[in-house]
């Protein structure tokens, strides 16, 4: 059974997951060249904005204009690097899900897996629509305002004077790079959140198997092995993506603060794209916190659900095996950003409070 199929297609588009059918050397070379080209376009755009801040920016408004989009490019570059570095690890995580003891065997287990896969696909689609609608709105607004005046969509440092033809090339490159960066965010975010949902899926499959113990249809030792595997699987996800998650929390706080500052200063026509961008950034961090919280709740509920089984009919060995699962479940599965800030709804609220506090400080400095 294929897992994370839609997400892997997005990874393929952004150059982080070569198609399995492209096994020949020629096709792999073409795909690697595509990955290098798109990565360079993203990194050079980010560096040009960084140079603009260092060399050209001399007031708060110009700094805010460049800073918020540069931060988005920074996180896109970090995610692109993380996806490329962890390409083999992503393959390992997916292979774990299609092997024993994680692979669903019976009809009810397959139905659970399909339900979670449908949820992942739906969430990915709506998240991609939100992000790409934001990019389209920014592009259209820029065409009718900045382009007509001969201004670029985003500030950046250019070490040369450009003609009308070169201006059009730079203008198009900015829009393409920003759209590509948004797709990298969609790919990475939905991959991590999809893996988190699969942790929830495995816990639900485990509960389903435990209910069949008294019917003699499952081996309790295999359930213990599956529960241990779920913990190791969750630890591996957190270990491979902890840096990305940590940077995401920091960048989201700074971007929300910067956007609030921007919204207080610009006109109503220009505010709509920025509002959409702020919503996208908040959604970006919310899905991490939401599904991290869901994993924690699901792992805690396992103990209560074990009590609902016919455990009294088991022999002494079976009861001891259940006790092993219950004892380990007393410590919930929690995901953290660099082992500092846990991924739950409380962390999301804290991020909002921190962003608003930083915004108030900026306002006081300005006045």
Res 191: pLDDT: 94
Q: Give dist(CA 202, CA 298) in Å, integer.
A: 10
In whole angstroms, give the CA distance from residue 128 to residue 11.
13
In which band, very low, low, confident or very high, does the pLDDT at 47 lie, cut at 50, 70 and 90?
Answer: very high
Is pLDDT at 217 greater than 60 in this prediction?
no
Res. 43 pLDDT band, cuts 50 70 90: very high
Across 94-98, 146-150, 277-281, least confident range: 146-150
Task: Assess whether pLDDT exceeds 90 at residue 126.
Answer: yes
Burial of 210 per CB tally in 10 Å (0-12, 13-18, 19+): buried
Q: Is 90 exceeded by the pLDDT of residue 118?
A: yes
Instruction: Lowest mean pLDDT of 129-143, 201-215, 226-240, name the range.
Output: 201-215
Residue 253 and residue 337: Cα distance in Å, rounded? 13
Could you give the CA distance from residue 76 to residue 42 in angstroms, rounded to a whole number? 8
Distances (CA, A) of 171 to 26, 111, 187, 359: 32, 48, 25, 31
Please report the pLDDT score of residue 64 as a whole number. Answer: 74
Q: Which residues of 81-109 are buried (b: 16+ CB within 10 A; e: fewer)?
A: ebbeebeebbeebbebbeeebbebeeeeb
339 pLDDT higher than 70: no
Q: Is residue 101 reached through a cis peptide bond, with omega within 30 degrees of 0 on the bond before it? A: yes
């Amino acid at each position: 059974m294929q897992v994370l199929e839609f997400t892997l297609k997005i990874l393929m588009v952004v150059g982080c997951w070569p198609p399995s059918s492209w096994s020949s050397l020629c096709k792999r070379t073409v795909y690697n060249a595509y990955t290098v080209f798109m990565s360079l376009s993203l990194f050079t755009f980010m560096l040009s904005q960084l140079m603009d801040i260092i060399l050209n920016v001399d007031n708060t408004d110009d700094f805010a204009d460049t800073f918020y989009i540069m931060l988005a490019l920074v996180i896109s570059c970090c995610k692109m690097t993380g996806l490329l570095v962890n390409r083999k690890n992503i393959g390992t995580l997916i292979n774990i899900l299609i092997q024993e003891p994680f692979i669903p065997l019976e009809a009810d287990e397959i139905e659970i897996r399909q339900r979670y896969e449908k949820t992942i696909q739906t969430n990915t689609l709506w998240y991609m629509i939100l992000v790409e609608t934001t990019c389209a709105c920014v592009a259209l607004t820029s065409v009718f305002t900045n382009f007509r005046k001969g201004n670029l969509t985003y500030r950046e440092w250019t070490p040369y004077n450009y003609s009308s033809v070169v201006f059009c090339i730079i203008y198009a490159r900015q829009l393409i790079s920003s759209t590509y960066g948004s797709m990298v965010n969609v790919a990475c975010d939905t991959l991590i959140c999809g893996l988190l949902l699969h942790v929830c899926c495995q816990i639900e499959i485990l509960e389903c198997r435990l209910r069949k113990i008294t019917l003699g249809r499952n081996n309790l030792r295999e359930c213990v092995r599956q529960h241990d595997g779920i913990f190791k699987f969750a630890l591996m996800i957190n270990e491979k993506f902890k840096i990305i998650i940590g940077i995401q929390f920091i960048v989201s706080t700074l971007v929300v603060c910067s956007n609030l500052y921007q919204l207080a200063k610009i006109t109503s026509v220009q505010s709509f794209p920025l509002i959409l961008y702020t919503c996208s950034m908040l959604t970006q961090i919310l899905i991490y916190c939401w599904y991290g919280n869901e994993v924690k709740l699901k792992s805690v509920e396992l103990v209560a659900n074990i009590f609902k089984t016919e455990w009294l009919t088991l022999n002494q060995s079976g009861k001891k095996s259940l006790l092993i699962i219950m004892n380990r479940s007393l410590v919930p599965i929690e995901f953290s950003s660099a082992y500092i800030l846990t991924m739950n709804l409380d962390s999301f609220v804290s991020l909002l409070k921190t962003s608003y506090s930083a915004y108030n400080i900026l306002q006081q400095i300005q006045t």
